[in-house]
Amino acid sequence: MNETWKSADISSLDGKRILITGANSGIGYHATLGLARKGAHVIMACRDPRRAGAAIARLRVEAPGASAELVVLDLASLASVREFAHRELAELRPLHTLINNAGVMAPPRRLETADGFQLQFGTNVLKHFALTGLLMPLLERAMWAGRPRVVTIASIAHKRGRLNFDDLQSTRHYSPMQSYQQSKLADLMFALELDRRLRAGGSRVMSIAAHPGVANTNLFRAGERSTLDTAVRAAASHMIGALLNSDDAGALPTLYAATSPDVADGGYYGPTGLMEMRGNRVGHAAIVPKAQNAEAARRLWQVCETLTGVQFPLRASDLEHSFRSK
């Protein structure tokens, strides 16, 4: 892109249903706000009903007349993901865009999801993999000029990530940032592999990735941490605020990936400022070679299928079976 792209540049989204995970705060909330202001019906998928209620109340003030609904979706639980997807499939309403935004960043000790997966890999990767696969029939049903989309939020942290197939769950060794970097590399590889599979299957659905740069969000500030660590992070967030992206600027790549007619299949977008960390210009983001390793991506895909029990219905016959079996 040669010019600054703003959320005001989004065309009307009237009649479009868009689901975004982690919609109650940070980048997720600001992306929700930008979509709602353009007329989309936004499904705000959140884990905490109390925080979600506060977010939608704020949305009503900042975007009067916004069309939005709250759904409780706990990405630390496969049962929650399956229950939500089952309800959506039963209603047979098309889904125009799915934004895999929610994430966990670097808890200081190894934690597990309800299913026994290491928290970062389980939440950031496995549950979004499962959610996308289960909702694929609804994305295939959506008909609009911009084509249905899956937008997966990665990170510049993917550049330092490494897929350790011998210890994806960090059972032998847990490093908070190494685990986060691995999960973000896996997210980007998932988006790129999904694109390859969708195109091979002749699907109209697009798979696109985006990253926010380094935004001063709750992902940086929150989490299960000591009082001292929390205080240090809070102080650091104030200091870096002048240097790094705000929540609303960090949401621009997400909005661009979800709405722009100029995005490409398998594209990856982010801010073009200093080292891709900030800026209000959105452009193609750098992808390190290991993220483009198709063989490793296929192996990761197989691992995700095995651990989640979800296989993607990417053929017409599979899609019909998905509806008949609900």
**Residue 268 is among the residues annotated as catalytic for this protein:** no
Q: Is residue 323 part of a domain?
A: no
Q: Is residue 7 part of a domain?
A: no
| 248: helix, strand or coil | helix
Q: Is residue 146 part of a domain?
A: yes
Q: Is residue 138 part of a domain?
A: yes
Q: Is residue 6 part of a domain?
A: no
Number of compact structural domains in the chain? 1
Q: Is residue 4 part of a domain?
A: no
Q: Is residue 69 part of a domain?
A: yes
206-210 sheet: strands from edge to edge: 67-72, 41-46, 17-21, 97-100, 149-153, 206-210, 268-271, 282-284
Q: Which of 29, 174, 180, 256 is catalytic?
A: 180
Instruction: Tell me which residue of 6, 91, 76 sits closest to 45, measured CA to CA.
Output: 76
Residue 160 is part of a domain; what is its CATH number? 3.40.50.720
Q: What is the spatial distance between Cα 120 and Cα 118, in angstroms, rounded to a whole number?
A: 6
Q: Is residue 5 part of a domain?
A: no
pLDDT of residue 223: 45
CA distances, 182 to each of 74, 168, 307 (Å): 21, 8, 17
pLDDT tens for the chain, 326 residues long, are 545 788 889 999 999 999 999 999 999 999 999 999 999 999 999 999 999 999 999 999 999 999 999 999 999 999 999 999 999 999 989 999 999 999 999 999 999 999 999 999 999 999 999 999 999 999 999 977 679 999 999 999 999 999 999 999 999 999 999 999 999 999 999 999 999 999 999 999 999 999 999 865 544 444 444 444 544 445 444 544 555 667 788 999 999 999 999 999 999 999 987 777 877 789 999 999 999 999 999 999 999 999 999 998 755 445 555 555 54
pLDDT of residue 314: 56
Global pTM value: 0.90
Q: Do residues 145 and 97 lie in contact, with contact meaning Cβ atoms separated by under 8 Å?
A: no
Q: What are phi and psi of 283, to 5 degrees?
A: -150, -175
Q: What is the spatial distance between Cα 229 and Cα 103, in angstroms, rounded to a whole number?
A: 20
Q: Which domain holds residue 242?
A: 13-317
pLDDT of residue 247: 76
Q: How many CA atoms lie within 13 A of 144 on its CB side?
A: 23
Q: Do residues 23 and 45 lie in contact, with contact meaning Cβ atoms separated by under 8 Å?
A: yes
Q: Using CB atoms within 10 Å of the CB of residue 305, give its burial: 0 to 12 exposed, 13 to 18 middle, 19+ buried.
A: middle
